[in-house]
Structure 1
Amino acid sequence: MVAVKSSGVSRFLKSPDPSCRAVLVYGPDTGLVSERAATLQKHFAHGAVEAEVIRLDDRDFAEMDGRLSVELGTMPMFSDRKVVRVAAGARLNPDELKAALAEPPEAALIIEAGNLRPDSAIRKLFEKLPHAAALPCYAEERNLGALIDEELSAAKLNIDRETRSYLMDRLGADQALSRSEIDKLILYARGKDRIGPDDIDAVVGDSAEVAVENFVYLVSAGDSRGAIRQLSRLAGAGTPPQVALAALGRHFTKLHMVAAAESSSGSAESALRKIRPPIHFKRRDAFVRDSRRWGAQRLQAALPRIQEAVMKARLSPPLEQAHAERLVLALRAR
């Protein structure tokens, strides 16, 4: 199947190719990856009341060789539909995956992965197989704008261009979190016919947002002890660690963008101007300092570790605090 371009993913999700039995969903926006994987799961269930869903990750592959092939080749026990969702990790073997997908599998397969290079063996496999597809997930302004328009239109709420732009600046790069913020805004504006800047200021982002921002800057500054204390405060206030981890991924992505620009051109200014939402002037010096201290190479190496921790936290909520703390210590040790 031809590789799906980022601009065509929404169209693919509305009407997937009937012959498609395996989909790779990948990209730096973990919230969008998870959201689209959930959409595909519903599609593959074909309306089954309780489709059998099997979730696998590196722990499962370590416990049993060939686990993926077994799950893909066996019929469901308690339903007429079966979907296998895999969190891609180091133990996901491209050769085993290729053999398992030589023919369309009995069970539908969805693999969730972080950002993959064009020469990634798994990505190339899904782009070439006739019964598979690879869907890139990148946080783009047009995707966020479409999300705002769709949700507000469904709620019969109007918004002018300047207020819409302001809302986009206040929302993060994680689409799942952005949707949650928009839902909160719609609930707050119930009974009105138009969204205004005051509505956005009232509910989009709160003290938890500031606390999460404090956490990510503590991590990038190398203060692991302070970062772990902040994690505990966030958990005590009801903010899940996976929210903080997703924010950390966005923060390190921005740091890397600026560090890479400075490395290639000698100036970080042009990259800083492109960041949305803009870095607050009170944080600007710390941001530039952390970007230079880490450097483009170390930041690039840190991003996959953050993405892996986000995925683990999503898949095992009871252990998300432990995954977050382990990541903070691992980044400090680098």
Structure 2
Amino acid sequence: MKLATRDADGYFARPEPDRTGLLIYGADAMRVSLKRQQVLAALLGPGADEEMRLTRMPGGELRKEAAPLIDAIKAQGFFPGARAVFVEDANDTAFASIEAALTDWRPGDAQIVVTAGALKATSKLRKLFEGHRNAYAVGLYDDPPGRAEIERMLATAGLRDVPNDAMGVLTALASEIGPGDFAQTLEKLSLYKLGDSSPVTLAEIAACAPRSTEAALDDVLNVVAEGKDGEVGPLIRRLTAQGTTAVSLCIGAARHFRLLYTMASDPGGAASGAGRVRPPLFGARRDRLVRQAQSWGAERLEMALSHLIDTDLQLRSAGQRAPAMALVERTLIRLARLAGRG
């Protein structure tokens, strides 16, 4: 049977132990893996690996014969409790073996949980589970988790006191980063709050969230935007040593100043504009960028973007002979001095 997306989250949290099997498929391997971990934990409970109630089997092993899978679902262990056989990274080459196991399955046998990558509607494996009366097929797509799913993840991580502003930031963050990165962020946040029963704050989220750019690049762009022209050269030399190219630095600078311009030109002011940008800004980084946007103003930020566009065109010009990084450094120093005159 095909399990609708709206019903899938509820089933992953409370799987039915008397089902023959479950197929979870999707293009995002991390998303599939996280859901597989959730459903197996809910189905088997703690200690399944130690008690040998979970058998793992690569899908590639089922290309030639079904016997290993059938033997695994029939095997009886020494410990009581639900059992499952997990078939990882299956595709249509394993169709015949999995079909034979589903046909041979009887009540009391281990449940068959299969994961796969993206499967077309014509996939034999997908049709097998969708057409089975006692098995489910669930397709996972790249939709960000909803509020209910985020609340479940927070509860699993032991984070229960999350105010509305923090929940809003986490919801926005979940829509901008991958499911694995978001799960790691919640895990780090849980460790950060270990032994601390106070509500989750925006600063704590900022401390645990992944950074979208490298620290050295952030450093040079911040000193330029804050008018510290004397610090530009040493930071650029550090970036050069790390392998950053002049073009990528120019593009990063243009992105930074375009973000400031978006904030500064918001009718409600820079603070209001910061709430509209994506990826979301929060914590100390948000406050710093708001101050930069307010200090520059929309008019001077237009001038800064004009300088950066001219430099970018010069870098890409066929007749350009001057050292590329020197051109970018000169432009950034000019911008830092422009900020200093504010």
Bucket of the pairwise TM-score, normalised by the shorter protein:
0.5 to 0.7
CA distance in 1 between partners of 2:98 and 2:60 (Å) = 16
Higher relative contact order (CA 8 A, sep 6+): 1
Other-structure match for 2:66: 66
Q: Deviations over 1:72-123 (max 9, x none)?
A: 4532354455421111345743233223212434221110112222222111
Matched, 1:179 2:183: yes
Other-structure match for 2:209: 204
Query: Where do residues 290-305 of structure 1 align in structure 2 (5 Å cutoff)?
Result: none
Q: Deviations over 1:22-66 (max 9, x none)?
A: 10011233233223222332444367761432211145336x633
Q: Deviations over 1:122-175 (max 9, x none)?
A: 11111111111112223433x2533433455653423334x4343344345543
User: Normalising by structure 1, what TM-score?
Assistant: 0.52
Give 1:20 deviation, angstroms.
0.9
Q: Determine if contact 2:90/2:115 at 8 Å carries over to the other structure.
A: no
Q: Determine if contact 2:12/2:38 at 8 Å carries over to the other structure.
A: yes
CA distance in 1 between partners of 2:26 and 2:278 (Å) = 18
Counterpart amino acid of 2:75?
M
SS where residue 147 of structure 2 aligns?
helix
Q: Determine if contact 2:66/2:100 at 8 Å carries over to the other structure.
A: no
Other-structure match for 2:8: 9
Change over 3 Å in CA distance of 1:93–1:151 after alignment to 2: closer
CA distance in 2 between partners of 1:188 and 1:200 (Å) = 9
Counterpart amino acid of 1:97?
I
Give 1:178 deviation, angstroms.
1.5
User: Normalising by structure 2, what TM-score?
Assistant: 0.51
CA distance in 2 between partners of 1:5 and 1:19 (Å) = 19
Other-structure match for 1:87: 88
Aligned length in residues: 213
Matched, 1:32 2:35: no
Among all aligned residue pairs of Structure 1 and Structure 2, give the percentage whose two residues are the same amino acid. 21
Q: Determine if contact 2:73/2:112 at 8 Å carries over to the other structure.
A: no
CA distance in 1 between partners of 2:61 and 2:131 (Å) = 27
CA distance in 2 between partners of 1:93 and 1:158 (Å) = 44
Q: Determine if contact 2:28/2:142 at 8 Å carries over to the other structure.
A: yes
Other-structure match for 2:150: 148
Q: Which has the larger radius of gyration?
A: 2
SS where residue 117 of structure 1 aligns?
coil
Alpha-carbon RMSD across the aligned residues, in angstroms, is 3.6
Change over 3 Å in CA distance of 1:277–1:146 after alignment to 2: farther
Change over 3 Å in CA distance of 1:173–1:129 after alignment to 2: farther
Change over 3 Å in CA distance of 1:90–1:32 after alignment to 2: closer
CA distance in 2 between partners of 1:78 and 1:108 (Å) = 17
SS where residue 200 of structure 2 aligns?
coil
Other-structure match for 1:113: 116
Q: Determine if contact 1:29/1:173 at 8 Å carries over to the other structure.
A: no
Query: Where do residues 205-244 of structure 1 align in structure 2 (5 Å cutoff)?
Result: 205-206=210-211, 210=214
CA distance in 1 between partners of 2:33 and 2:184 (Å) = 14
* 187-196 or 30-39, which deviates more: 187-196
* 120-129 or 64-73, which deviates more: 64-73
Q: Determine if contact 2:73/2:111 at 8 Å carries over to the other structure.
A: no
Change over 3 Å in CA distance of 1:108–1:276 after alignment to 2: farther
Counterpart amino acid of 2:120?
R
CA distance in 2 between partners of 1:187 and 1:73 (Å) = 38
Counterpart amino acid of 1:87?
E
Counterpart amino acid of 2:119?
L
Q: Which runs of 5+ in 2 are unaligned?
A: 216-241, 243-276, 281-342
Q: Determine if contact 2:161/2:198 at 8 Å carries over to the other structure.
A: yes
Query: Where do residues 182-331 of structure 1 align in structure 2 (5 Å cutoff)?
Result: 182-189=186-193, 191=196, 193-206=198-211, 210=214, 277=279
Give 1:184 deviation, angstroms.
1.5
CA distance in 1 between partners of 2:56 and 2:154 (Å) = 33
Other-structure match for 1:219: none
CA distance in 2 between partners of 1:151 and 1:45 (Å) = 19
Q: Determine if contact 1:82/1:107 at 8 Å carries over to the other structure.
A: yes
Counterpart amino acid of 1:145?
R
Counterpart amino acid of 2:188?
K
Counterpart amino acid of 1:149?
E
Q: Determine if contact 2:66/2:101 at 8 Å carries over to the other structure.
A: no
